[in-house]
Amino acid sequence: MFNSLPHEKRTAGRYAGPALAAILGALAVSGGALAQSEVTAVETEAETAAGVGAETAAGVAAGVGAGVGTAAIVVEIPKTTLSIELVPVEMPDGTTLLVTRREIAWPLYDTYVHGLDQENPAMPDDAGMVGGVTRPTKPYINMDRGWGHTNYPAMGMSHLAAQEFCTWLGHKTGRTFRLPTEAEWEAIAEQSGTTPDNLDARAWHLGNTDDTTRPRATKDADDLGLYDLLGNVGEWCTTDPHADPAVRSGAVARGGSYMDEPELLSPKARQRPHRSWNSTDPQIPKSIWWLADCTWVGIRPVCVPDDPTNPSVSPDEALSPTDTPFDPASGR
The domain limits of the chain are 7-325
Highest mean pLDDT among 155-159, 240-244, 321-325: 155-159
Judging by beta carbons within 10 Å of its beta carbon (0-12, 13-18, 19+), is residue 195 exposed, middle or buried?
A: exposed
CA separation for the pair 152, 157 (Å, rounded): 14
Record: fold of 7-325: paralog of FGE (formylglycine-generating enzyme) (3.90.1580)
Spatial CB neighbours of 62, under 8 Å, sequence gap ≥ 6: 218, 331
- Encode 249-259: b = buried (16+ Cβ within 10 Å), e = exposed: ebbbbbbbbbb
pLDDT band at residue 71 using 50, 70 and 90 as cut-offs: confident
Is 0.85 surpassed by the pTM of this model? no
Query: What are the residues facing 105 on neighbouring strands?
Result: 153
Query: What are the residues facing 99 on neighbouring strands?
Result: 87, 302
pLDDT band at residue 16 using 50, 70 and 90 as cut-offs: very low
